[in-house]
Structure 1
Amino acid sequence: MCSNSLADYQFTKVLKHGRFSSVYKANCVGNNHSIVIKKFPLEHGNDAELKKLFAEIQCCRQFKHPNINKILHCFTAECDMFVLYPYMCFGACQILLESIFTNGFPEALIALLFKDVLSALMYIHMNDFVHGAVKAGHILLDNQKAVLTNFHESRSFIKHGVKIPVLHGVSQEKNLNWAAPEVLDQNINGYTEKCDIYSVGITACEMANGIQPYFETQPTLMYTEKIRGNVPSLLDRSTYTMLLDDQGKMPFENSMTRRTYEIFSQRILSDDFHQFVEICLNRNAENRWSAKKLMTHAFFKQCRHSTISDHIKKCRSELDNNSIIDDESMGQLDDRDVNECREDVQWNF
């Protein structure tokens, strides 16, 4: 049972400072368990941000699933609101892509991550919700599992006790690069939970390539390409030459991709992975598989005899040489599970 008193929490590290909130790592004084505390100023807070926070709390309180980042407790003190979450020691996958896996996660690790993400989405969709903002920055990782977080854009199909067939409205501008074309259309046809599946496909490319989708691409061009059915793809030997245009240049070329073309042109990703992404990124939402059906795809066969913990151990050298991972925890990356990670690991809510 979490306490409503600040005195019962020892704040140990600032994880993030934002315009409307701050995120801290803390220990519960009673049991010394590590948690994450998000602090919102109520007195000078932004009304729109607070409404999103309250909506997220209300939404998350309805969910109970091991791959959904749960809210442990929330309380007010000294004109501030404090929301408590479990501590995920490796933080957001986006941070790992920027700091360690700059050329993308290993394919087997991606499969393990998406097995957990799809399990969470299947649960969310069964409860008549859409997440609305699936991306690497909203997937948290520890040595045991991946969890889906940030339900600011989550929407319910239940309105006034009745289930509606489609949703309308667009998500935040910062999530548009991951949004499905039917979401960007903003027409009377609306969109369904299949918009999350499209975001899974974009996120798969993001995790495999180590590059944010449509990086340095103007929003208008991004929208046009999605409507035409052109989307980012997995970059490996099989797609490298196909992506070159008539002048031998890469579309959506930028400084980051230019530095990694040589690596992409030498590596090989499985046919199952390519097919998995193609299914997710189908322009026609009706032709995309559901989260439940995707979990049966052959892409996940490589998960049968391995765990996230196994792959964290394989990546020990990369993690050990990076400042965001705790030296103390790296010493525990043997046959036992990591119980703690570096105090200055970054979070992205």
Structure 2
Amino acid sequence: MGSFLPDSSSYELLTIIGRGLEGLMTVNLARYQPMGEHVAIRRIDLESCTNDMVNYLEGELHVSKLFHHPNILPYKSVFIAENELWVITPFMAYGSARDLISTHFTDGMSELAIAYILLGVIKALEYIHHMGYVHRSVKASHVLISADGQVFLSGLRSIFSLIRHGQRARVVHDFPQYSLPIHTTAPSVSTSMPL
């Protein structure tokens, strides 16, 4: 985790850029006031979450502390603000690969752009597998792209450990109940990305 303050008054909420987790999560574009930096904030209504959902979120936060890789979306801060869990991440100016395909590349991306994005995803997956986990929800909406063209894999709530009772599992049969997609709306950004 980064060194961003765990205090909701340090963040100015600007606009909603997504929703998810059965309507219990709102994703906001915000400004981290001490540095003036734009961030994304996942705000999850804990009062409306079931115990299973809370356990699921705890697992995601635990895994996020284990992973440190340049192609995995980092969590800058995680804290409770009133009845909400706030997860602070860097703002991805280009949104997800899904957003790019539906808004800018409706006729398809070039092979070079696809290769560049997939290289970032493969590096992240290689690291996750090396750590003894699998990511069971690799999809375009979990592939995020920053303003400088860096590719990040997100969706850590779909991570599953291959280690069971001290042994590496050969197959994965357990599927999480709450691996639902986040519906996002990419804000318009007028910068260019090297694709």
The bucket for the TM-score relative to the shorter chain is: 0.7 to 0.9
Seq. identity, %: 27
Alpha-carbon distance change, 173 to 13 in structure 1, aligned in 2, over 3 angstroms: closer
Structure with the larger RCO, 1 or 2 (CA within 8 Å, 6+ apart): 2
Counterpart for residue 17 of structure 1: 19
Alpha-carbon distance change, 32 to 110 in structure 1, aligned in 2, over 3 angstroms: same
Query: How far does residue 148 in structure 1 lie from its aligned partner after superposition?
Result: 0.6
Kept in 1: contact 2:158–2:179 (CA 8 A): no
TM-score by length of 1: 0.49
Alpha-carbon distance change, 85 to 173 in structure 1, aligned in 2, over 3 angstroms: closer
1:130 aligns with 2:147: no
Compare CA radii of gyration and give the structure with the larger one.
1
Q: Deviations over 1:64-113 (max 9, x none)?
A: 00000111111112111111111111111111211221122111000000
- Alpha-carbon distance in 1 for matches of 2:45, 2:125: 31
Q: 4+ residue stretches of structure 1 with deviation over 4 A?
A: 171-175
Q: Deviations over 1:278-335 (max 9, x none)?
A: xxxxxxxxxxxxxxxxxxxxxxxxxxxxxxxxxxxxxxxxxxxxx9432xx43xx49x
Equivalences, count = 184
Counterpart for residue 7 of structure 1: 9
Kept in 1: contact 2:43–2:86 (CA 8 A): yes
Counterpart for residue 101 of structure 2: 97
Unaligned runs of 5+ in 2: 181-185
Out of 151, 167, 170, the residue aligned to residue 172 of structure 2 is 167
1:34 aligns with 2:38: yes
Kept in 1: contact 2:42–2:87 (CA 8 A): yes
1:50 aligns with 2:54: yes
- Alpha-carbon distance in 2 for matches of 1:137, 1:172: 18
Over the residues paired in the alignment, what is the CA RMSD in angstroms?
2.2
Whichever structure has more strand as a proportion of its residues is 2
- Alpha-carbon distance in 1 for matches of 2:53, 2:106: 32
Kept in 2: contact 1:20–1:46 (CA 8 A): no
For residues 1-349 of structure 1, the aligned pairs below 5 Å read: 1-18=3-20, 19-142=23-146, 143-170=148-175, 324-326=187-189, 329-330=190-191, 333=192
Unaligned runs of 5+ in 1: 176-322, 338-349
SS at match of 2:102: helix
Kept in 2: contact 1:20–1:49 (CA 8 A): no
TM-score by length of 2: 0.85
